[in-house]
Structure 1
Amino acid sequence: MRTGSEPVTARSPLRMRLWFGVWGLIWAVFGTVAFALTGRTGWAVACGVLILVVTADLAWVLHRMRQGAHYQPGRDIPPYEPPDRP
């Protein structure tokens, strides 16, 4: 619901979330390799699971970014009134 108090220059944080995800993916891969080489199997598996989670998140972020901008009412559109509940 639009209240009329939204910032005029608000932007989606998807691009920032993408770069944080890439950064996390790099560290998770590094952690998986490092823990596997040192024989810490449990930590290597945990980092491997983290790789799967980060990869799924990155896929979702890219999907949302490819959808493009969605319609946002301009300044000339007044705020909507909240619906009356019976």
Structure 2
Amino acid sequence: MRTGNEPVTARSPLRLRFWLSVWGLIWAAAGTAAFVLAGQPGWAAACGALLVLVSVDMAMILRHIHQGPHYQPGRDIPPYEPPRH
């Protein structure tokens, strides 16, 4: 919903989120492998769960990147009235 006070050129930093997800994916995979080799199944499971979470987040980020820009009303469109409760 538009309230009229949004920045006109606001964009989501999807590419930055993607590269941070890559960084997290690398560290989560390395942590999982290191804890498996060290014989620490609890920590390996925690890093594995983090690995799954980062993978899902990366998939969502890639989906949003591939969707492309969405329609945003221009300056000539007046803001919507906020709902009254």
Aligning the two structures, in what range does the TM-score lie when normalised by the shorter sequence? 0.7 to 0.9
CA deviations over 1:11-66 (Å, ceiling 9, x no partner): 11222221111111010011011111111111111111111111111111111111
**Paired amino acid for 1:18:** F
| Structure 1 residue 82 displacement after superposition | 3.0
Q: Which residue is 1:9 aligned to?
A: 9
Q: SS at 2:71's partner residue?
A: coil
DSSP 3-state at the match of 1:44: helix
CA gap 1:2/1:38 in 2 versus in 1, 3 angstroms: same
Aligned residues: 85
Q: Tell me the TM-score normalized by structure 2.
A: 0.88
Q: Which amino acid aligns with 1:54?
A: V
**Identity level (%):** 66
* Offset at residue 84 of structure 1 (A): 5.4
Q: CA RMSD in A?
A: 1.4
User: What secondary structure is seen at the aligned counterpart in 1 of 2:59?
Assistant: helix
| Structure 2 unaligned residues grouped into runs of 5+ | none
Give the whole-Å Cα distance in 1 for the aligned partners of 2:17 and 2:80: 30
Using the TM superposition, name which of 75-84 and 57-66 deviates more: 75-84
Q: TM-score, normalised by structure 1?
A: 0.87
Aligned residue number for residue 26 of structure 1: 26
Whole-angstrom distance in 1 between the partners of 2:25 and 2:7: 32
C-alpha distance in 2 between matches for 1:41 and 1:32: 9
